[in-house]
Structure 1
Amino acid sequence: MNMEFFLILLAVFLSFMLVIISIPPILRVAREKKLFDTINNRKIHTTPTPPLGGVAIFIGFVLSTIIATNGYSFESLKYIVASIILMFFIGLKDDLLAISARKKIVVQLFAAMLLILLGNLQITNLHGIFGVYQIHSAIGVLLTLFIILAIVNAYNLIDGIDGLGSGLAIFASSLFGWWFFIVGQFQFAIMSFALTGSLMGFFLFNVFGKRNKLFMGDAGSLVIGLIISAIIIKFNEFNIIKTGQYSVVAAPAVSFSLVMVPLIDTFRVITIRLWNKKSPFHPDNNHIHHRLLALVPSHLKVTIIIIIANIFLMGFALLLNNLMLNVTFQFLAIFLFGIFLSFVPSMILRIKHVKMPAEGKIVKHTS
């Protein structure tokens, strides 16, 4: 076993164990201090549950990444961690006290700019999408900022049922981690798999915890979104020069497919809200998981269905990539295919004449 492979295994094991070990005391404190998620008519869950899983994810990821990357020249890491800390604390404050969307966006902007300007994580090339390759630095900063904010908030919004946000992120981070490993980018492989291990530990409690269940909260979803966005940016930058055996020709399209579900879901619900002349931050039951729960009243089954859909999207992206088709065509094809899949639950509801519950009504479900 070489040292790089050992360090990746260490990152997975250590992050997993740190989360498993830290969750029981977090639950104990939450119960003593009555730190539970607010229950109201628009929430799917009806049982008081602590929204502090993000604390365990944060601890597991940060500590395991720092330990496992020791000895590597990883200049970006300190800025990635600093940005994660900002995201974590603004998310935790929202979980405990509730803050306005405007304040969250301001902190997200600051964390993203820290990552871009000091962490040197920036999109510099569009790989030929719409015939564009190298882009101006200022445009790159704005585009990277948009990508980070889009992914961060997409993961925040998709986290509506047990296992969904963490399951999608496990799928994405493990595949990115595998790619980074086989191309020799071990620092980002370690970072990716540290996230995978942390989320696997959380997933067990979130989905199968019963009396020990907890949610990841905004602290968890914002941190996950930031890490995934950093990984995606590096994945695209490493694939600018397409000379290696494992180079990805249409890197933007392939990476887009791995986060397609949360991004398309966010795009879809915000479009519907604006069409109905409502605030894009107005909560409703138009998310994909709400539609599927009306058809399949089980969190776990809906989570599995959505992850399988994401696997199909990724497989479609890899097929197009292997066919060496035009990059712009690939990107648009994946986007349109994702849009189509996002409307499938609504089409099935219409065909079966199943009505969604009125806004603010709770759908009975099983875990």
Structure 2
Amino acid sequence: MYPFTHYFYIAASFVFSLLLCYKVIPSVIQLAKKKKLYDEPNHRSSHTTVIPSLGGAAIFLGFSLSILIFSNGFMIHELKYIVAATIIMFGLGIKDDIMEIAPKTKLIGQIFAALVVIIMGDIRFTNFHGIFGIHEINYFLSVLFTVFVIIVVTNGFNLIDGIDGLASGISGLCVASFGVWFFITGNYEYVVLSAALLGALISFFRFNVFGKHNKIFMGDTGSLILGLLISILMIRFNELNVYPDFAYAIQSAPAVSIGILAVPLFDTARVMIIRIKNKKSPFHPDKNHVHHRMINLGFKHAAASVRIMAVNILFIVVAFSLSNIGNEALLTIIIAMGVFFSWLPSYLLKRRDKKQAEIQTA
């Protein structure tokens, strides 16, 4: 296939997804309002009015149709399994957004979707890249570890979906990072997949952040789909770099992956630790996320999201810039940065509260 043809499918996938999602979202909003399918504010919400929460349906439609139509120029053996798993996540999310389902049921569905991708599509981690002296891993451990990673990443994106623009903005950064690397290394089939997802995310971001009368949330439908698809991009990124003996290969792919997904991974780890420390279930909902801290500091949704995205961009730049120093060294730097930026908003809140207390007692 000639390079121009590659570029055509990539551009067409992006534009088609962007335009389709942009046109579909107003209809989804009208349907949600007519059927009263709202996200009701509660004690954990950062919004005060009812907002339609079926934006994930538009993301699903834009991505799925785009990748099915414009992937015909590439032989993507595993595509049907990726789409099948995406449909499973869509079903889980849409039911949870409308009726709510038990956490255990949702987890079982996520594991099933992951297994479809792993066993049928053979998309899985096969190598630890020398971390802790481990390279190739056996099939059972490969499946088990990949399921774990997909579940963690999927729920990480689900948990950061708390303020306008954050989940879609961070997802867009992750997809763009992997997509650019796939492009410069000639893995065009995954560039098309990345382009289709990025187009849908940009359209959703516009309505989620800048919509006044047409505002919408992605709901669990969107965050579950995003978590699954970004997990797949991460797995392929790592697998293609098992033997980094080609141009633009990444020497420390696992550490770089963690850097790209820094915000959802470190925020999830942080809130889980806090919940366990407080003798609560790790899955017990609360308002301890970084974005909650940012709102408490006085930032509006867009301002908080932009700042958190800027931090994630910093992680991405550091990860790629230092990718040749080895996994252990880069992981140490990434973890240190993660701990610092996870702790910083809480520190600023405590300092502000202390100053206010001093003023009141003066």
Output one character per residue of 1:314-334: Cα deviation in whole Å (capped at 9) or x when no partner: 12212321xx32322212321
Structure 1 outlier segments of 4+, above 4 Å:
none
- Which whole-Å CA distance do the structure 1 matches of 2:257 and 2:192 have between them? 18
Could you tell me which amino acid in structure 2 is paired with residue 184 of structure 1?
G
- Which whole-Å CA distance do the structure 1 matches of 2:331 and 2:277 have between them? 25
- Indicate whether 1:267 and 2:292 are aligned: no
SS at match of 1:149: helix
Q: Say which is worse superposed, 176-185 or 38-47, in terms of deviation.
A: 38-47
Could you tell me which amino acid in structure 2 is paired with residue 10 of structure 1?
A
Please tell me whether the aligned partners of residues 255 and 330 of structure 2 are also in contact (alpha carbons under 8 angstroms): yes
Please tell me whether the aligned partners of residues 9 and 73 of structure 2 are also in contact (alpha carbons under 8 angstroms): no
Aligned partner of 2:306 among 294, 304, 326:
304
Could you tell me which amino acid in structure 1 is paired with residue 340 of structure 2?
F
Q: Which residue of 1 aligns with 2:329?
A: 329
Q: Which residue of 2 aligns with 1:112?
A: 114
- Indicate whether 1:150 and 2:152 are aligned: yes
- Which whole-Å CA distance do the structure 2 matches of 1:234 and 1:318 have between them? 17
- Indicate whether 1:96 and 2:124 are aligned: no
Residues 68-217 of structure 1 aligned to structure 2 (within 5 Å): 68-217=70-219
**Cα displacement (A) at 1:52:** 0.3
Alpha-carbon RMSD across the aligned residues, in angstroms, is 1.4
**Cα displacement (A) at 1:243:** 1.3
SS at match of 2:353: coil
Please tell me whether the aligned partners of residues 258 and 314 of structure 1 are also in contact (alpha carbons under 8 angstroms): yes
- Indicate whether 1:34 and 2:36 are aligned: yes
Aligned length: 354
Output one character per residue of 1:248-287: Cα deviation in whole Å (capped at 9) or x when no partner: 0001111111111001101110110111011112111110
Q: Name structure 1 gaps, 5 residues minimum.
A: 356-367
Q: Which residue of 2 aligns with 1:365?
A: none
Could you tell me which amino acid in structure 2 is paired with residue 349 of structure 1?
L
Please tell me whether the aligned partners of residues 51 and 216 of structure 1 are also in contact (alpha carbons under 8 angstroms): yes
Please tell me whether the aligned partners of residues 95 and 218 of structure 1 are also in contact (alpha carbons under 8 angstroms): yes
Please tell me whether the aligned partners of residues 260 and 319 of structure 2 are also in contact (alpha carbons under 8 angstroms): no
- Which whole-Å CA distance do the structure 1 matches of 2:314 and 2:98 have between them? 37
Q: Which residue of 2 aligns with 1:364?
A: none
- Which whole-Å CA distance do the structure 2 matches of 1:205 and 1:214 have between them? 6
SS at match of 1:120: coil
TM-score in terms of structure 1 length: 0.94
**Cα displacement (A) at 1:70:** 0.7
**Cα displacement (A) at 1:346:** 0.7
Q: Which residue of 1 aligns with 2:21?
A: 19
Please tell me whether the aligned partners of residues 41 and 47 of structure 2 are also in contact (alpha carbons under 8 angstroms): yes
The alignment-based identity, stated in percent, is: 45
- Which whole-Å CA distance do the structure 1 matches of 2:133 and 2:329 have between them? 11
- Which whole-Å CA distance do the structure 2 matches of 1:125 and 1:256 have between them? 16
TM-score in terms of structure 2 length: 0.95
- Indicate whether 1:292 and 2:294 are aligned: yes
**Cα displacement (A) at 1:123:** 0.2
- Which whole-Å CA distance do the structure 1 matches of 2:114 and 2:46 have between them? 31
